[in-house]
């Protein structure tokens, strides 16, 4: 799989340029430590240049008819589809997820781009009667300006598409900071946008770290919209930093998603759903199932089957065809995940399987953690409350449906939830009562499709949604227009 590591640059105003300070950082494969490339370690100055270019480009991009902007996005979708294999292979090397999942990540960007291309011919507003004669009323969506896009490493192609593509179709321009763990994918994303015909300056990429690049994007007075997918802590810091300029801030933050398994569930299906949601992407999804809330009548049976299946999972580099679970992103993540194993044990939960760094068979070169299941977890324990972002899940025993719902909701986050049951009444009650932005019935907690809103309640965000029509609300502002064709002054609420 190895190819020679290259040196990359920022993309500003349609030109490839080094960071002003000349510093660099490396992107390494989490599976092997292999160098993927060297990237500019940018600073505030580079952000300022990118914002300047984006501001300039906005003057003409906002006037390009939306269907034309959609056509460019349509070409981008086709290009991503053409390059799907190449992108998936790069992803498995740079980010670590197994190749089939990497293909899914790319597919999500293709789907989103085709979907949003069509939005170019919709972007619907409303027309409505006026209360006065000879007067016409309507509302239209207007672009906002330069959008700051800050994305995580766990969906390095899909998540940039959720943000950049609708931002562009709506007529905004973009300054994009890809995650510093997956800059090569961020850079390919922008190269393909440019190849599809996005004009110079409309999308700019500035590589680097949150404290240098991200912070400047968030504070820059000429960036009115910031969209971030990241941790709760980063989200709070972004909101605070953006407050002075009253920016529109879209946040997509953590999850502590629970799967409820009732006593009437199809257990085999539940086991498959849990394994996929808990250990897929090595648990590094904000939609990952890090809690399993099981009815006491099926708890033991479920625990036994889960442990057996988890122990059969094969760890290895994502590009090897028999790998089930790839590495986690970096050393820091590995340490954090392991610290939660220690926390769980100290809290008195029972470690049923895993709980250790995986070694041997070449795994020592990367960051591998054994799929980990804790049993006898109490809902208030830290391993049942805090986002671990790794292949660790906590089994919680409950007596009935009401307790299951209470436990599921008893966390600060509200992204995704799931219930396995054959009872239609309970399924509908769960759909109503689970306090999350996404609920699955008889499926795991992952698997969002691009044409439905994606996001969560409570501390998962600040009330916005991405994907689907809902995304348009992040990237446009409403304007109400009144046209009076009576030829005389008519006063609303008075005449």
Gap between the Cα atoms of 403 and 422, Å rounded: 18
Q: Which is nearer to ligand UN1, 13 or 447 (CB)?
A: 447
- Whichever of 12 and 448 has its CB closer to ligand UN1, that residue is 448
Can you give the C-alpha Rg of the chain in angstroms?
24
According to DSSP, the β-strands at 225-229 and 248-252 are parallel
Number of shown-chain residues binding ligand UN1 (CB under 6 A): 10
Task: Please report the DSSP string for 128-197 in residue order.
Answer: EE-SSSSEEEEEEEEE-SEEEEE--SSSTTHHHHHHHHHHHHTT-EEEEE--TTSHHHHHHHHHHHHHHT
| Per annotation, catalytic residue among 170, 187, 286, 387 | 286
Residue 347 known to be catalytic: no
In the bound state with ligand UN1, the residue whose beta carbon lies nearer, of 243 and 431, is 431
Q: Tell me which residues in 70-109 interact with ligand UN1 (CB under 6 A).
A: 108
Token pair recorded at residue 392: 């660790």
Q: For residue 285, state whether it binds ligand UN1 (rule: CB under 6 A).
A: yes
CB atoms within 10 A of CB 445: 29
Question: Would you say 275 and 338 are in contact if contact means Cβ atoms under 8 Å apart?
Answer: no
With binding defined as CB under 6 A, does residue 112 bind ligand UN1? no
What does the per-residue mask of binding to ligand UN1 show for 240-279, with x meaning CB under 6 A? Answer: ----------------------------------------
| Phi, then psi, of 27 in degrees rounded to 5 | -105, 130
Q: Is residue 287 involved in binding ligand UN1 (CB under 6 A)?
A: yes
With contacts defined by CB under 6 A, name the span among 32-40, 218-226, 280-288, 417-425 that binds ligand UN1: 280-288
Locate tokens 């502002």: which residue?
477
How many CA atoms within 13 Å lie on the side-chain side of 175? Answer: 33
Q: Shortest distance, CB of residue 227 to ligand UN1, whole angstroms?
A: 13
Span near ligand UN1 by CB under 6 A; candidates 58-66, 281-289, 301-309, 423-431: 281-289
In angstroms, what is the minimal distance from the CB of 452 to ligand UN1?
10
Catalytic residue among 101, 119, 187, 252: 252
Instruction: Kindly tell me which of 10 and 446 has the beta carbon lying closer to ligand UN1.
Output: 446
Site residues for ligand UN1, 173-202, by CB under 6 A, read none
- Six-digit token string for 490: 């008519």
Question: Which is nearer to ligand UN1, 287 or 421 (by Cβ)?
Answer: 287
Please state, in angstroms and rounded to a whole number, the distance separating the CA atoms of residues 208 and 178: 8
Are 250 and 283 in contact, with CB atoms under 8 Å apart? no
Choice from 39, 76, 153, 155 touching ligand UN1 (CB under 6 A) = 155
CB of 164 to ligand UN1, least distance (A): 15
Q: What is the spatial distance between Cα 423 and Cα 329, in angstroms, rounded to a whole number?
A: 39
Enter the DSSP assignment of 386. S
Count Cα neighbours of 486 within 13 Å in the Cβ-side half-sphere: 13
Contact status: 154 vs ligand UN1 (CB under 6 A): yes
State which H helix or E strand residue 381 sits in. Answer: none
Nearest distance from C-beta of residue 438 to ligand UN1, angstroms: 8
> Strand, helix or coil at 242?
helix
Q: Least distance to ligand UN1 from the beta carbon of 320, Å?
A: 23
Q: Restricting to residues 446-475, which ones interact with ligand UN1 according to CB under 6 A?
A: 446-448
CA distance 3 to 175: 29
252 annotated active-site: yes
- Residue selected from 146, 223, 286, 418 as contacting ligand UN1 according to rule CB under 6 A: 286
Q: Which is nearer to ligand UN1, 201 or 254 (CB)?
A: 254
Which of residues 367 and 389 has its CB atom nearest to ligand UN1 in the complex? 389
Nearer to ligand UN1, 270 or 303 (CB): 270
Shortest distance (Å) from residue 467 CB to ligand UN1: 9
Rounded Cα gap, residues 207 and 178, in angstroms: 6
Report CA-CA distances (Å) from 119 to 143, 149, 273, 372, 458: 14, 20, 33, 43, 29
> Interacting stretch for ligand UN1, rule CB under 6 A, among 18-26, 49-57, 136-144, 284-292?
284-292
Give the shortest CB-417-to-ligand UN1 separation in angstroms: 12
Q: 307, 276, 314, 294: which is closest to 374 by C-alpha?
A: 307
Closest CA to 160 of 142, 172, 148: 148
Minimum CB separation from ligand UN1 for residue 36, in Å?
A: 21
Chain residues in the site for ligand UN1 (CB under 6 A) = 108, 154-155, 229, 285-287, 446-448
Q: What residues act catalytically? A: 252, 286
């Amino acid at each position: 799989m190895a190819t020679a590591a290259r040196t990359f640059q920022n993309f500003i105003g349609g030109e490839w340029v080094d960071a002003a300070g000349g510093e660099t950082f490396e992107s390494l494969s989490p599976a092997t430590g292999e160098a993927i490339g060297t990237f500019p370690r940018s600073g505030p100055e580079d952000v300022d240049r990118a914002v300047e270019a984006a501001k300039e480009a906005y003057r003409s991009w906002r006037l390009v008819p939306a269907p034309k902007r959609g056509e460019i996005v349509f070409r981008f979708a086709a290009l991503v589809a053409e390059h799907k294999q190449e992108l998936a292979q790069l992803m498995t090397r740079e980010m670590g997820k197994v190749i089939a999942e990497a293909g899914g990540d790319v597919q999500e960007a293709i789907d989103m781009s085709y979907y949003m291309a069509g939005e170019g011919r919709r972007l619907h507003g409303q027309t409505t009667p006026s209360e006065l004669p000879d007067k016409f009323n309507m509302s239209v969506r207007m672009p906002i300006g330069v959008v700051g896009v800050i994305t995580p490493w766990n969906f390095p192609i899909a998540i940039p598409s959720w943000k950049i593509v609708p931002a562009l179709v709506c007529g905004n321009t973009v300054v994009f900071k890809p995650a510093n763990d997956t800059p090569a994918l961020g850079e390919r994303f922008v190269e393909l946008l440019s190849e599809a015909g996005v004009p110079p300056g409309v999308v700019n990429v500035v590589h680097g770290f949150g404290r240098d690049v991200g912070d400047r994007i968030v504070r820059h007075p000429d960036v009115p919209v910031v969209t971030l997918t990241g941790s709760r802590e980063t989200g709070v810091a972004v909101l605070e930093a953006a407050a002075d300029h009253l920016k529109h801030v879209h946040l997509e933050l953590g999850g502590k998603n629970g799967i409820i398994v009732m006593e009437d569930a199809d257990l085999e299906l539940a086991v498959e759903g849990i394994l996929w949601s808990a250990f897929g992407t090595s648990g590094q999804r904000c939609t990952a199932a890090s809690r399993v809330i099981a009815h006491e009548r099926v708890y033991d049976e479920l625990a036994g089957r889960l442990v057996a299946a988890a122990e059969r999972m094969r760890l290895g580099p994502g590009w090897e065809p028999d790998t089930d679970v790839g590495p986690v992103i970096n050393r820091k993540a590995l340490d954090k995940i392991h610290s939660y194993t220690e926390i769980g044990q100290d809290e008195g939960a029972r470690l049923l399987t895993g709980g250790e760094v995986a070694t041997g068979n070449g795994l020592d070169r990367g960051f591998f953690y054994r799929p980990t299941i804790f049993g006898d977890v109490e809902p208030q324990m830290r391993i049942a409350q805090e986002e671990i972002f790794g292949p660790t899940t906590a089994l919680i025993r409950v007596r009935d449906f009401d307790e299951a719902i209470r436990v599921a909701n008893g966390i600060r986050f509200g992204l995704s939830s799931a219930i396995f049951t054959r009872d239609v009444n309970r399924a509908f009650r769960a759909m109503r009562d689970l306090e999350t932005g996404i609920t699955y019935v008889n499926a795991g907690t992952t698997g969002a499709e691009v044409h439905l809103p994606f996001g969560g309640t409570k501390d998962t965000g600040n009330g916005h949604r991405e994907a689907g029509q809902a995304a348009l609300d992040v990237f446009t502002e409403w304007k109400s227009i009144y046209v009076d064709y009576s030829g005389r002054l008519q006063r609303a609420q008075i005449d």
